[in-house]
Chains A and B, each alone.
Chain A
């Protein structure tokens, strides 16, 4: 099937720019060999492009680069002191994991201090009764008290009780026979 001028005209610009694929390029070339009007259109496109290329190019000014680099280096030096030296500024504290851990611990401690229900239960300590208290106590009270003590404590208490009874017995004996001392002296 032969291409019409309308078919080809849409590809003329691409043909001129050398941007057509092989198949389209071949179709346009074939059509141009037998179509004066399309050849004239292509020539007109060429004249237009030549005219466009004649428009003078402009160039950057002599101090263009110096101005750009001046801006850049000025900003670089201004920014340099503000840039934190991560390696030395915080030392060991610069590790984020460590910081997060410390923050977590501080929050936990604060939580325990503020909310008593979060505190761990206090350990119940049983104070062993002192020997002097046991000695002063009434014997009945001492027996009742001894029931609440542990076995070893009870054994200790029994020893103390027996010693106390011995002392009391010795005391009453010496008070009931006052002449014994004289007799002994004699």
Chain B
């Protein structure tokens, strides 16, 4: 009976790569390349950079393949490396933006990864709604964005997100809840075009209550 290598599980492929068939790593790359590129893109919003970083992720996984225990979840192993490299990239970008902004005096203009022309071109292809979502996503904190992207775009359970990030499930619950809440708020602000009506006593009270609820939830999580 001949075994079809494309039907092999991740663990079987990894084992055969270790046993001296490096070309079989191609199966892993083909299986996850779109998912990893998409994940990174949702975190950094730059297709070219996302693709380049995704390639680095696969190279890193290959070089550290001996650390992977075949009984574990390979997808979690892969996404843990992708998550670490993406957060490092964002941190590095922030530092670059800070220093270039410090030198040029215009940090805002540098914070965009794409040139104005590219941005305009890309914008034409996106609907207004999508653009609104992307902009709102950019503005929330990295940890909240990471948890939300893993949930919404990668369709991972809280348990799997916990494996990838090393966070507790209550913390993930809080981060996702806060991410959604912040996104709603930012989208509402954008839809209002920045001309928000002054808050009435009732809406102020409601917002205050929401903030208190979130803080309570955070304290409970801690």
Contacts and interface: CB of A to CB of B under 8 A. Distances in A.
A49 B152 contact: yes
Chain A at the B interface: mostly helix, strand, loop or mixed? helix
Given A45-B180, A65-B29, A17 B217 contact: no
B54 to A, nearest CB: 6
* Chain B, interface SS category: helix
Contact of B23 (A10, A55, A67, A73): A73
B127 to A, nearest CB: 8
Q: How large is the interface on A (under 10, 10 to 19, 20 to 34, 35 or more residues)?
A: 20 to 34
Contacts of A71: 55, 59
B184 to A, nearest CB: 6
A152 B127 CA distance: 124
A57 interface: yes
Given A56-B126, A58-B50, A73-B23, A51 B41 contact: no
B77 interface: no
A57 B38 contact: yes
A53 B152 contact: yes
A61 interface: yes
A9 B213 contact: yes
A69 B180 contact: no
Interface residues of B, number: 49
B78 interface: no
A60 B54 contact: yes
Interface of B: 22-23, 25-26, 29-30, 33-34, 36-38, 41-42, 47, 50-51, 54-55, 58-59, 62, 126-127, 129-130, 132-134, 137, 148, 151-153, 157-158, 173, 176-177, 180, 183-184, 187, 209-210, 212-214, 216-217
Minimum-distance CB pairs A-B, first 9: A13-B177, A60-B33, A60-B37, A10-B217, A58-B41, A65-B29, A59-B34, A68-B58, A19-B158
25 contacts: A6-B213, A10-B217, A12-B177, A13-B173, A13-B176, A14-B176, A19-B173, A48-B183, A48-B187, A51-B129, A51-B187, A52-B133, A54-B130, A54-B133, A55-B137, A56-B126, A56-B130, A57-B34, A59-B37, A60-B34, A67-B55, A72-B22, A72-B25, A73-B22, A76-B22
Given A54-B127, A64-B54, 6 more contacts: A19-B157, A54-B130, A55-B42, A68-B55, A68-B59, A69-B29
